[in-house]
Structure 1
């Protein structure tokens, strides 16, 4: 089932939907909402993706989202309903307002401290850099702070709890046959594929992936490289330069830009190796998605990657921005099918054991329970 359809199924009895056209939710019963997940950024981002994937696993908490940029398959508080946040939910007590960016923290602070809304404020930080004075001001007004990794926690100056992101292990699964998986997305089943997925830009290290493949593919004719993701207007020139670089190397047919896909899980299943070359990352879900789909990962030491990939077991970690190290490690896999196979199996098991979304949702529920917001019994 498509993730959107899955979300509808999971939410059908969540917080009192009023079904509108095509059975999309037309609002929620505000007396029942106990967990508010705001999203004030319209453009798709890692935070937005986290919300879209996680909220369907939080239905027992009577959850609802607020803001643009989220699909209507999620339970939504409409703007005209926001005033209901100034009143207690049915049964009394407080709601939890779970922010993941500064604007959402500010919204919670205004609601509680200016408008006197009965809210407990929770913030998740994925940043791995020194916080500004403004961010510190907002964080100090939170009732609970969550870090997405140990590295992130080190940048926080307040008590915090580490809750690492997970992924939907029912969506990202290994194929029974890589060739069939490749054919399913229109690729040559006789080739093996190495991928780099995400927004195409310098920060994401797309150029490092391209340069690695230019160095290696001529020596490994059985492999083709795939770059999947969106290029925003300000990075069109960056992509154009990469395409020209690939053309000069005579590899246009073997380093392919395949665009952005809603069914990205199908493209992951076609991969035998994944490269995560980012120069900077907050957390980064793509290594988990790749490993769950049966591909070992060579990842730069940014974000939470060193806490996701087990070196020598599910992939390798290389210094950020180190093209030579990335090329050396990638070549080990391109030249050793047995290594790929053994680590692919270990990667699937590793993610299933340690990073299912259910685990993240359960750990968050334990934090919400501190403020009287508990899961409904089944």
Structure 2
């Protein structure tokens, strides 16, 4: 079957351009894919440019970039919203060398000190967005925190948990704990496996699910984990199910989610689980501490000690307490709806775009 043609749009109709100049799928690319349709549903008039993006998104051709010299319909400037260095630099060339009527916005998710080159590029932006308060603390320029949101239409609780499990070929009589994302050391997949090897022998009603792909560079790492699982005799209870486009269905089948990352820029998986009504155990990296509520309004647990032992200890408390899991899951849904909707993210960005347009006027 032939694929659908790419949707190209006239730049004169577009107010915001979201460049994506990295072919390989990443968290940044995923953010663009999820956010742009919502922005356009809210009439924010956003188009993408670059490879590695779905054809249904509104695209601008590289051959049409000269049209950016013309002002957009109903406005005086366009916004070029970059999320990487390789997208900030072309924006600077278009604005400063070719004198196009553009305002440059950069979103940073990094939680480390920036290089001199990155600092220089950021200093030339008209506005800077941080995806969390932790990220904001690493920036040396004025910035606005706009946290990522979740698509609550896609990520939502299962109407029937048992049916959700059965539809994926999972045993409905078992409870399931999941770890989703790329299989690699940075993502802490080995920490999850080690914790499950410790926990599952004494919890016969639980099965662990690892969903995600190991790229060529990390295949030996994945093989080592599978060998360790086989050596423990748990190959039927620690399942490597690969990468799935319907990952939202897999969240709905879970009873507990663990985000075991050693490092993360922002990290959407806890939000995706919470929106699906699943409590979360996460390491204290990325924005996880800002996403997960602990204490009286608990939606999960944040681990300050990143080790299999602390992960197993925290998981055991939730695995062995069904009422605590259910209550945390209910509060997780309420928290994501109230604070982390993708519509809220889109509106937060639009306020920045509008401010830049007014300043130019």
The residue that corresponds to 2:45 in the other structure is 62
The residue that corresponds to 2:34 in the other structure is 53
Residues in 1 aligned to 2:173 and 2:261: alpha-carbon distance in whole angstroms = 29
Tell me, yes or no, if the aligned pair for 2:81 and 2:105 is still in contact at 8 Å.
yes
Aligned residues: 354
CA drift of 1:78 comes to 1.3
RMSD of aligned alpha carbons? 1.4
Residues in 1 aligned to 2:169 and 2:60: alpha-carbon distance in whole angstroms = 40
1:128 aligns with 2:111: yes
Q: TM-score, normalised by structure 1?
A: 0.91
Where 2:210 maps in the other structure, the secondary structure is strand
Residues in 2 aligned to 1:130 and 1:320: alpha-carbon distance in whole angstroms = 23
User: Residues 314-362 of structure 1: CA distance to partner in whole angstroms, max 9, x if unpaired?
Assistant: 0000025222211110001111111111111111111111101000001
User: Residues 108-165 of structure 1: CA distance to partner in whole angstroms, max 9, x if unpaired?
Assistant: 0111111111100000000000000000000000000000000000000000000000
Where 1:372 maps in the other structure, the secondary structure is helix
1:330 aligns with 2:311: no
1:165 aligns with 2:148: yes
Q: Which runs of 4+ in 1 moved over 3 A?
A: 21-26
CA drift of 1:86 comes to 2.6
User: Residues 178-212 of structure 1: CA distance to partner in whole angstroms, max 9, x if unpaired?
Assistant: 21110111111111100000000000000000000
Residues in 2 aligned to 1:86 and 1:327: alpha-carbon distance in whole angstroms = 58
Residues in 2 aligned to 1:149 and 1:320: alpha-carbon distance in whole angstroms = 21
User: Residues 248-299 of structure 1: CA distance to partner in whole angstroms, max 9, x if unpaired?
Assistant: 0000000000010111000000000000000000000000000111110000
Residues in 1 aligned to 2:224 and 2:263: alpha-carbon distance in whole angstroms = 21
The residue that corresponds to 2:60 in the other structure is 77
The residue that corresponds to 1:15 in the other structure is none
Please show how residues 198-209 of structure 1 align to structure 2 within 5 Å: 198-209=181-192
- Gaps of at least 5 residues in structure 1 are 1-20
Residues in 2 aligned to 1:249 and 1:23: alpha-carbon distance in whole angstroms = 47
Residues in 2 aligned to 1:176 and 1:118: alpha-carbon distance in whole angstroms = 49
The residue that corresponds to 1:36 in the other structure is 17
Residues in 1 aligned to 2:205 and 2:66: alpha-carbon distance in whole angstroms = 60
Where 1:61 maps in the other structure, the secondary structure is coil
Residues in 2 aligned to 1:23 and 1:229: alpha-carbon distance in whole angstroms = 26
Residues in 2 aligned to 1:85 and 1:71: alpha-carbon distance in whole angstroms = 23
Higher mean C-alpha displacement, 313-322 vs 254-263 = 313-322
1:365 aligns with 2:350: yes
Q: TM-score, normalised by structure 2?
A: 0.96
1:242 aligns with 2:244: no
- Gaps of at least 5 residues in structure 2 are none
Where 1:217 maps in the other structure, the secondary structure is helix
